[in-house]
Amino acid sequence: MARSCSVCGKDRSVGNNVSHANNKTKRVWRPNLQNVRTTLGGTVRRVLVCTRCLRSGRVAKVTGARPASLVAS
């Protein structure tokens, strides 16, 4: 499976390293992907999400804290 954002589909982009002598070799730019716990279809899952989607609020992170209604008193 390719490392790409599960929300926007952003994946690697390719181009050239260009030296001072104008020699060209292939290189890749990889997106900044983070492993995030989020709810998908009512279940909590870990997905790879780019930081642009995290920052813009396209993904709601799930915290590890349990709601007060589930904690026994």
pLDDT digits (tens, 9 = 90+) for 7-55: 999 999 999 999 999 999 999 999 999 999 999 888 899 999 999 999 9
- Domains assigned to the chain: 1-17+25-62 (2.30.170.40)
The more confidently predicted of residues 65 and 69 is 65
Question: Which has the higher per-residue pLDDT, 14 or 61?
Answer: 14
Which tens digit of pLDDT belongs to each residue from 10-19? 999 999 999 9
Q: Which two tokens mark 72?
A: 């026994």
Instruction: Using alpha carbons, list the distances in angstroms from residue 25 to 13, 19, 29, 38.
Output: 14, 9, 13, 39
Q: Which residues contact 68 (CB under 8 A, 6 or more apart)?
A: none
CA angle 21–23–10, rounded 5-degree value: 130
Query: Quick one: pLDDT at residue 42?
Result: 86
